[in-house]
Amino acid sequence: MIASEAATVGTTDSANGAGPVVRVEGVRKSFGTNLVLDGVDLTVAAGDALVIIGRSGSGKSTLLRCINLLEPIDDGRILLEGDEITRKGVDVSRVRQRIGMVFQQFNLFPHLTAIDNVTLAARKIRKLSREQAERRARELLKTVGLEEKAEQHPHQLSGGQQQRVAIARALMMEPHVMLFDEVTSALDPELVGEVLIVMRDLARTGMTMLVVTHEMQFAREVGDRLVFMDEGRIVEEGVPADVLDNPSDERTRRFLRRTLQLPESLEELTVNEEGVEE
Ligand SMILES: Nc1ncnc2c1ncn2[C@@H]1O[C@H](COP(=O)(O)OP(=O)(O)OP(=O)(O)O)[C@@H](O)[C@H]1O
Ligand SMILES: [Mg+2]
């Protein structure tokens, strides 16, 4: 009953009404001499799920980390609901409260139960009482299909269940946008689906989401837009099915071919020392 429960979770209203929730303008970012984001422009409308794909090292995680103010940018600016969050003197912790982030590694506290993991930050930062926090946390655990697991510790949960607890934990802060960075990449294949379903249902509630993933079926079915990143730039953007079935940029084609995501028969492909032959 995840889908019906999820209806209580979404936050479609942005503070200033109709404008984009996230706007990235000309963002550049280097680590030393390594230029990692090379002028990224991106707009995510309220309620949209934007999927980000691209090769390892193309800057996907760095982009999400910059949006969440975990990395300072060198140039450009980032706006959240119309506010420039990359300006000097911004209240970082207030900005982060509006942004939920879920990583590949769930990072739950091993000594805390699922419900305590979900409520901890909300009680400390949002100053909710234990009772208020637990009531909300139980609703969220139900939403992610884990109401029966509230009192379990992480080691008693599967990876997929732990990741769903991590999603509930992020939702506990009532974020206005959720960032997902390869949240299913560390999971056994049979556990991937349960996490993707929770994300799909969250998207259906109208949550604004930026999702870095290799799950192309998810991108196709849940994404409103898809961007392909290469060497710190967005080289292609569009409706997911269009980009995936008919990429216009050669770099996108090559990426999809290498990950066997192009609708080409396996029989037509050969392999060499580099991997899938071009
Ligand atoms: N904290 C850091 N310090 C130095 N270099 C970094 C740091 N974080 C990322 N990089 C470098 O920035 C580049 C982009 O990394 P990033 O993690 O954003 O790529 P990605 O697209 O998320 O890759 P993957 O698919 O492997 O997760 C890489 O060359 C990486 O080595
Ligand atoms: Mg990454």
Convert the pLDDT of each residue in 153-186 to its tens digit. 999 999 999 999 999 999 999 999 999 999 999 9
Q: Which helix (H) or strand (E) segment is 123 a member of?
A: helix 114-125
86 Cα to the center of ligand 1, angstroms = 20
Q: Is 232 a pocket residue for ligand 1 (Cβ < 6 Å)?
A: no
Amino acid 262: pLDDT? 64
Which of 271, 246, 274 lies closest to 261, judged by CA? 246
Query: What letter would DSSP give residue 103?
Result: -
Tokens of 183: 């949240």
178 Cα to the center of ligand 1, angstroms = 20
Q: Is 36 a pocket residue for ligand 1 (Cβ < 6 Å)?
A: yes
Region 202-211: mean pLDDT is: 97
Ligand number nearest CA of 181 is 2
Asked whether the predicted pLDDT for residue 16 surpasses 70, the reply is no
130 Cα to the center of ligand 2, angstroms = 35
Amino acid 273: pLDDT? 76
Distance of alpha carbon 181 from alpha carbon 115, whole angstroms: 23
Q: Is 64 a pocket residue for ligand 1 (Cβ < 6 Å)?
A: no
Nearest CA to ligand 1 atom 17: 61
Nearest CA to ligand 1 atom 26: 56
Ligand number nearest CA of 233 is 1
Distance of alpha carbon 54 from alpha carbon 181, whole angstroms: 12
Distance of alpha carbon 184 from alpha carbon 123, whole angstroms: 28
Amino acid 103: pLDDT? 95
Nearest CA to ligand 1 atom 7: 31
